[in-house]
Every structure is written in structure tokens, then in C-alpha cells.
Amino acid sequence: NAGVTQTPKFQVLKTGQSMTLQCAQDMNHEYMSWYRQDPGMGLRLIHYSVGAGITDQGEVPNGYNVSRSTTEDFPLRLLSAAPSQTSVYFCASSRQDEQFFGPGTRLTVL
């Protein structure tokens, strides 16, 4: 049981490039979400999903897209990376209340 996994662990992009952050969970959790954490800050909700085929926007959705084609996977797409998107990205999943977090992806946009 791997829990919540995220790839890559580190990524450097140039402004304007696109990429996908991967998130997967093997706990059959319905709920999944993406957060970003800037230095010295709390986690801000980007997008979340309450089940396969259902997604919704969080606090800071601009510049990011998500889809949920399976229960296990919830990828986050950066359409055109900007320096303001430099952050640590955490994926989380939950069945009811407790959220389980992945190890995070540290993204730098130059």
C-alpha cells in the first residue's frame, strides 16, 4: 500500500512551458485535491475532485487544469508556467474526513 504518490519530486521549468504533475493513490479514496504551499505560508487549495469525472475549483485555480478519469489518478496541468507558480505542490486524498498527503513536488519556474 503506497498511499499517495507524486511525481516528479523536483522540476525546473522555463516561463511558458507546460507540464503535468502526477498524483496517484491506491486507497480507493473518492476525494482528491491539489494544494500549493509558498515559503512560510499555509496550503492553498487549487482544485479538488469528489469522484471520477467530477472536479471543482479551489481558492487559486487560475493557470491550472485538472481531470479525474479514474479513482486513482488526479493529474495537475500547468498550461503556461509563470514564475509566480514556483511553489511546493501537494496532492491529498480522503475517504471521509482525514486527508492523506503525498510527499510533494518542488517546482521552480525561471
Partner 1 sequence: GENVEQHPSTLSVQEGDSAVIKCTYSDSASNYFPWYKQELGKRPQLIIDIRSNVGEKKDQRIAVTLNKTAKHFSLHITETQPEDSAVYFCAPRSGTYKYIFGTGTRLKVLA
Binding interface with partner 1 (CB under 8 A): 31, 33, 35, 40-45, 48, 50, 56, 58-59, 90, 94, 97-99, 101-104
Is residue 20 within 8 A of residue 75, CB to CB? The reply is yes
Contacts of 39 (CB under 8 A, 6+ apart): none
Q: What is the nearest approach in angstroms of partner 1 to the Cβ of residue 40?
A: 8
Q: What is the nearest approach in angstroms of partner 1 to the Cβ of residue 16?
A: 29
Q: What is the nearest approach in angstroms of partner 1 to the Cβ of residue 78?
A: 21
Q: Which is nearer to partner 1, 71 or 99 (CB)?
A: 99
> Distance of CA 101 to CAs 15, 29, 63, Å?
28, 12, 22
